[in-house]
Amino acid sequence: MFKQKTLCHCLAALTLGVAAGSAFAGPTLDAIKQRGTLVCGVHTGLTGFSAPDKTGKYAGIDVDYCKALAAAILGSADKVKYVPLTAQQRFTALQSGEIDLLSRNTTWNSKRDTTMGSVFPGVWFYDGQAFVINSKKNPKVKKLADLNKASVCVETGTTTERNMADYARANKLSFKPVVFEGQEATEKAFQSGRCDAYTTDASGIAAMLVNLPNRSDYTVLPEIISKEPLAPMLRRNDQEFFAIARWTIFALQQAEESGVTQANVLRMKAESKDPAVQRLTGATGEIGKGLGLDADWAVRALQAVGNYGESFERNIKPLGLARGMNALWNKGGLMYPMPLD
């Protein structure tokens, strides 16, 4: 009798535990739905990725990701609150719950993935660390070795200073880092001549140069010294939200691969006989159901921002950057959407 009662009590406790776990599952996604807004941490101003225009409206490839998520979850790309964050502020904002996710040119690395209570749903942009100089002031500098013992402007709170130190040590060079808070301050310091060179992601250098009237005065050195897979960053507490964030990336990439665009998505849903397109658009299959969304979740995301290639063309191509690693896997790049089934 005692054993039976004990077993009953254990089963009851297990049942209550499962029920309680279900009740508290998906805290981030629940909060997004309850408030009716996705709170997205973005860059304070990085052209092509996240930057406000004169009216304060944000645009960029990282902004497009936020819009796509909001459209998929909440039905509208306009239901996003953008929170501009510096490199120093971004992780605290995510960990404290001030934002739902970071979509802010953040490198996916082991430390951030394993020690910060965070998770990355997939790579949104492949990048690498580069160096730029004022070639009018330093005409003899053609490669990184020519910068030996030079001063280099670098932003605090990023991986760039350590990457530079690692590269210098491996190549028996010496750089003098001059550290600043925030990208804008770092760029201004470099442009004013406080440093011989400036280092950051190649995309960040391109974003700076495209806005300079004296662009021809500057030269980007040929070396790329690091791998910088830039990815959205979420708290490690919501598997449901993580799944939506991950499959939104793959959906926009698969749309490009399948020729589904912002303009033709509804026609493709109605007419395409391609099984991949049918599943992507919700014409067949139950991908939306598996994500806790309706069948049109990806259609709304595509109507909001277009496919990945369209977002790249709109935001990154004007910086003068080629697709390169950010091309699809069947076009010589690394973008490889997982199969939609």
Give the pLDDT of residue 140.
96
Q: Which amino acid is at 84?
A: P
- Structure tokens of 289? 């159901």
Q: Are 212 and 218 in contact (CB under 8 A)?
A: yes
Would you write out the chain's pLDDT as a tens digit for each of its 341 residues? 434 444 344 433 333 333 333 334 489 999 999 999 999 999 999 999 999 998 999 999 999 999 999 999 999 999 999 999 999 999 999 999 999 999 999 999 999 999 999 999 999 999 999 999 999 999 999 999 999 999 999 999 889 999 999 999 999 999 999 999 999 999 999 999 999 999 999 999 999 999 999 999 999 999 999 999 999 999 999 999 999 999 999 999 999 999 999 999 999 999 999 999 999 999 999 999 999 999 999 999 999 999 999 999 999 999 999 999 999 999 999 999 999 99
Distance CA 186, CA 154 (A): 6
Q: Are 323 and 331 in contact (CB under 8 A)?
A: yes
CB atoms under 10 Å from CB of 215, counted, come to 11
**pTM recorded for the entire structure:** 0.91
Q: Which domains does the chain have, with CATH numbers?
A: 27-126+230-326 (3.40.190.10), 129-226 (3.40.190.10)
Half-sphere exposure of 337 (CA within 13 A, CB side): 23
Give the pLDDT of residue 157.
86
Question: If DSSP codes are grouped into helix, strand and coil, which group holds residue 275?
Answer: helix
Q: What are the DSSP calls for 109-155, one per residue? A: -HHHHHSSSEE----SEEE-EEEEEETTT-TT--SGGGGTT-EEEEE
Q: Are 41 and 234 in contact (CB under 8 A)?
A: no
Query: Which candidate, 117, 73, 72, places its Cα nearest to that of 92?
Result: 117
